[in-house]
Structure 1
Amino acid sequence: MILAHGVGGSTDLPVPLEYAMVGAAWALTISFAVLALAWRRPRLDPSSPGVALPQWMTRVVDSNVTRAVLGLVGVGFTAWVALAAFGGDPGPTNGAPGAFYVLLWVGIVPLSLLCGHVWAFLSPVRALHGAVCWALRRDPATGVWTYPARLGYWPAALGLLAFVWTELASPDPGALATVRVWLVGYVAYGVLGGIAFGRRWFERADPFDVYAAFVAALSPFGRRSPDDRRIVARNPLSNLAGLPVDRGIVAVVAVLLGSTAFDSATGTPWWMTEVQTWYAGSAALAVAYKTLGLLTAVLLVALVFVLATRAARGLTPLQRRAMPGELAHSLVPIVVGYVGAHYLSYLVEKGQRTVIALADPLDRGWDLLGLGGLQPSYWLSEHPHLLAVLKVGLVLTGHVLGVVAAHDRCLGLLPRAHQLTGQLALMLVMVGYTFLGLFLLFAG
């Protein structure tokens, strides 16, 4: 069974750890120096015109037919996974856990980067909510109540924490019973929440929708403006600068980054030889230690980031309190880079196994997709030099983009006298994130 989505076994990567870490420090330091000298005013504007794509593309994307087809695809695929979860035999040949932990959790990253927030069309709960509203003749944008502004992204952050806890700390994450509970619970949570609070519920409280929207903010595709909905190609960092800031935004990125770091940490020799001996033979202790480790990782990421962003001088108390939320978007490239590096071979290789398994959801010898005779390709793992370069490159690219995003936002937030010195603490934190990310990748 698929118990966790860590790639594991990264000690064979043929790049000395010290070389990768020194290179990371130099990359971030040089990038910051270049930014300080050549980037002295904010340049990342989410309302910049960009390059307009053909008008017919906007019409196709926004058409009711496209939305209906993609919604049916999302609901149909969810039903197919449910068929495997409720009707298939438990064991490694069942594709439901892989669909949940691989295709959804990891696959949502490349999908959102390449296509923007397409999850808003594919989301099964959005589609089902729309169908219910159509049957009741209700406007899907509005609900019975107005979504409380004080909640912000907090429900999504807690939902993401519940998911990563299920995968990384619960007693049996790969069990079909676990997948069944999540399938039923998520559909009920999304549809009922949408009826209660309308479309805002998905934008702030749906964990997978918010996760996809955060990653999609780094996509090169966006809308020209809130009033002009034409699709344009734009600097991805400019799109990222437009990520809506709301309560709980730091919690969301902390859960995403902290959980990935914890997943890497559980593959290190220290955890496997030391920590596992503390709870060996006791399922309850195992859950307790893993839960404590996961929460510690998430809280440390959040605490260090909040302290670093509030360290700037020349700000009023109100401005200082707002800094973590205003700069939280700069962690999104780091999250994407680290998730991509950590789960790259996992997505490519176990993703193939999952798709092949889903061709026979009930394990009865079916071959409905014509994939029964295929075998997964492990080409990527068989080329460790390429895998190492890709992993290091993804981490460094994510961190450099994070530095750029943070620097540009700081130029608009910090007083002129502290525009550079006010970023030093955040710079050190990002270097630390780079060191930690590479160390955990290579120590697994």
Structure 2
Amino acid sequence: MSDTTVVAHGLGAEYLPLPYTYALIGGAWALTASFAIVAFAWRTPKLDPSRGGIALPRWVTRAVDNRGVRRTVALLALVVTVWVGVAAVAGPDDAESNPLPGVFYVLLWVGVVVLSVLVGPVWRVLSPLRTLTARARRRAPRSYPAAWGHRPAALGLFTFVWLELASPDPDSVLAVRIWLAAYVGVLLLGWWFVGDRWFARADPFETYSLVASRLAPFRRDPDTRRVVLGNPLAHLTTLPRRPGMVTVMAVLLGSTAFDSFSSFPLWRRWIDDLGEGSAGATLVSTAALLVFIGVVAGTFWVATRATGGVTRAQRAELPGRMAHTLIPIVVGYILAHYLNYIVERSQAVIAQLGDPLGRGWNVLWLSDIHPEYVLTEHPTVSSTLKLVFVVGGHIAAVVSAHDASLRLLPRRHRLTGQQALMLTMVAYTFLGLYLLFGG
């Protein structure tokens, strides 16, 4: 992406509230101490989503389930989509004037995560394609192949991060237009042949929202179906175990790590020498992106299978059954990495929506918004929050992994079977902090 985008992603280590080396070592030790504590104090599985939770007033459940409320939210999302679509088709061709790239990379990519973590899988309601096809009651000629799982969504997520991080001109309005046209075409074609399940499995944003929502504090009571306020770590265990989910996690975590790495001066000089936007730079960036994703997938796959006392079939299932333990790391790193996007750049994007065609409009007085750069003006606060998000996410992952091991591994291997995954998460913490602040 452009230099202005890279700068928005993070802050240097000089703004940390403690020396950089201490932050790296302290994060690793915090993770190790957390593992030691839960290993000896947490002897039986406790993260059960069917246990308890504080039931919210019944009107909350009625409001959430009300068709009128859902349709109103969906129609509002559709109106916003049409408004952005006007900018996509008839707006200026430069990213500085056209709100399309900002909506695409900030409100959609980052906003979906924030909303999903706060309230649940919102994209299922907000998706304009689901809204447009909701009344088209037709019998699909085929059923969705169960063996595909979320693999189509993983591929869709990869095309998104490739466009953002490795394509010749990610800020190009034309490039975003082409991606969105392909997205709409592929989803509608798949829906035509296999029905609504195509949206649930193949839509990259719906799968992205599903993953992030597993960390939301709100969930359904399995018996009463009421909305309850519960332990988010218990909610993690409800992540569906389907083919491709580990790949989804690897794409999300690996691409975010590569985004941080791409701001390192050495990498920037190499890309500049190749010629930014050239075929050579694109190939090198694509290869590096694939390496980061592959490293995450490979290390997690090996670490979760490195245990004794299980059959070959059980060992093969462990990566998928442990995939939910990566969610806190993914969400923590994404929130840390895109914190400035969430708080600051989103304001500028919303202001642009007041005049999507560059004709001097001020629809709903949006153009009067003047972004408040509160994080840029307080870099120490920003860096501290990022440190908390990364380390906190990894600690939550360690707790979740320990609980999952107690449920999945034989008694004799419950501690030893976690060691490889624990060391892998320490490495993720160290590398994540280094990439986030080391550039």
Deviation at 1:166, TM superposition (A): 0.8
Q: 1:394-405 to 2 correspondence within 5 Å? A: 394-405=389-400
What displacement does 1:76 show? 1.2
Q: CA deviation at 1:340?
A: 0.5
Distance 2:227 2:196 in 1: 21
Give 1:179 deviation, angstroms.
Answer: 1.7
Are 1:28 and 1:403, in contact at CA under 8 Å, matched by a contact in 2?
yes
C-alpha separation in 2, matches of 1:48 and 1:395: 28
1:319 alignment partner in structure 2: 314
Following the alignment from structure 2 to structure 1, what is the Cα–Cα distance between the partners of residues 168 and 79?
A: 30
Q: 2:88 matched to 1:88?
A: no
Q: For 1:29-428, list aligned pairs within 5 A.
A: 29-91=32-94, 92-131=96-135, 133=136, 137-138=137-138, 143-225=140-222, 228-273=224-269, 275-280=270-275, 283-428=278-423
**How high is the TM-score relative to the length of structure 2?**
0.95
**How much has 1:347 moved relative to structure 2?**
2.2
Q: How far does residue 113 in structure 1 lie from its aligned partner after superposition?
A: 1.0
Quick check: 1:159–1:207 contact (8 Å CA) kept in 2? yes
1:118 shift after superposition? 1.9
Local SS of the residue matching 2:248:
helix
Deviations 1:108-149 (A, max 9, x none): 111111111122111111111213x1xxx43xxx63321101
Task: Report the residue type matching 1:87 in the other structure.
Answer: A
CA distances 1:393-436 after superposition (whole Å, capped 9, x unpaired) = 00011000111111100101111111001101100000000001
Q: Equivalent residue of 1:372, what SS?
A: helix
Cα offsets for 1:139-172 (capped at 9, x unmatched): xxx6332110110110010000011001111111
Q: Is the 8 A contact 1:45 1:238 kept in 2?
A: yes
Letter of the 2:170 partner, please give it. Answer: P
- For the residue of structure 1 that corresponds to 2:63, the secondary structure is helix
Counterpart of 1:107 in 2: which secondary structure? helix
CA distance in 2, matches of 1:281, 1:187: 29
**Secondary structure in 1 matching 2:365:** coil
Summarize the Cα distance change of 1:281–1:259 in structure 2 as closer, same or farther, 3 Å threshold.
closer
Aligned Cα RMSD in Å? Answer: 1.7
**Alpha carbons of 1:282 and 1:84: their partners in 2 closer, same or farther (altered >3 Å)?**
closer
Structure 1: gaps (5+ residues): none
Q: Distance in 2 between matches of 1:98 and 1:404?
A: 36
User: Given that residues 67 and 121 in structure 1 are in contact (C-alpha distance below 8 angstroms), is that contact kept between their aligned partners in structure 2?
Assistant: yes
Provide the C-alpha distance between the structure 1 equivalents of 2:110 and 2:416, rounded to a whole number of angstroms: 37
Q: Contact 1:82/1:183 (CA < 8 Å) preserved in 2? A: no
Secondary structure in 2 matching 1:40: coil
Change (3 A) 1:194 1:144: same
SS at match of 2:389: helix
Amino acid at match of 1:373: D
Counterpart Cα distance in 2 of 1:413 and 1:81: 47
How many residues of Structure 1 are paired with residues of Structure 2 in the alignment?
435
Distance across 1 between alignment mates of 2:401 and 2:27: 17
Mean Cα displacement is larger for which, 171-180 or 160-169?
171-180
Paired AA for residue 109 in structure 1: V
Residues 162 and 191 from structure 1, CA distance in 2 versus in 1: closer, same or farther, beyond 3 angstroms? same
Give the Å deviation of 1:192.
Answer: 3.1
Cα distance change of structure 1 residues 185 and 282 upon mapping to structure 2, 3 Å threshold: closer
Aligned partners of 2:168 and 2:276 also within 8 Å: no
Give, in whole Å, the separation in 2 of the partners of 1:57 and 1:195: 35
| C-alpha distance in structure 2 between counterparts of 1:195 and 1:59, whole Å | 32
The question of whether the paired residues in 2 share the 8 Å contact of 1:10 and 1:443 is answered with: no
> Within 1, Cα distance between the matches of 2:255 and 2:338?
13
